[in-house]
Amino acid sequence: MLEDIAVDIKNPFGEEAIEVAPDNILNALGRLKRDHKFERLTSVTGVDRYPAEPRFEVVYHLQSVANKRRLRVKARVSGANPEIESAVPVYRSADWYERETFDLFGIRFRNHPDLRRIMMPEDWEGHPLRKDYPVTGTRY
């Protein structure tokens, strides 16, 4: 069913999960929404696999209310250029999730309508959920 979309299919702990090529993310999400009735995007987040390469995973959680199914979709992106196409054209709810992922992990979403920080101040340096982000320093 999902073999033509996915690079890899897993079913850990009874949870459906697929991996797609990052260049194919919009096509994959569009087909999942249209052909497989995953009408709801419940979250977008990132995972930092530092020091592994590709360093980051962008993770989308989808839900099919009609079919009572959930699906996790992953796409791996490089640490040198952490960038992937925005899912906003397919799922409008991706907007703030992508902004949060950008803010905390530094993953850029191409063609996002308003990609700017959402949690940290605009002048904040770095991305605090990266594994190489410094956690020590001056305490106030």
pTM: 0.93
Please state, in angstroms and as integers, the Cα–Cα distance from residue 60 to each residue in 63, 89, 136, following that order.
10, 14, 31
pLDDT in tens, 66-110: 999 999 999 999 999 999 999 999 999 999 999 999 999 999 999
- Is the CB of residue 20 less than 8 Å from the CB of residue 28? yes
The residue ranges of every structural domain in the chain are 6-110
Looking at domain 6-110, what is its CATH homologous superfamily? NADH:ubiquinone oxidoreductase Nqo5 subunit (3.30.460.80)
Q: For residue 12, what pLDDT is reported?
A: 77
> Burial, 136: exposed, middle or buried (Cβ in 10 Å; 0-12, 13-18, 19+)?
exposed
Q: Is the pLDDT of residue 1 over 80?
A: no
What whole-number distance in Å separates Cα of residue 64 and Cα of residue 78?
Answer: 30
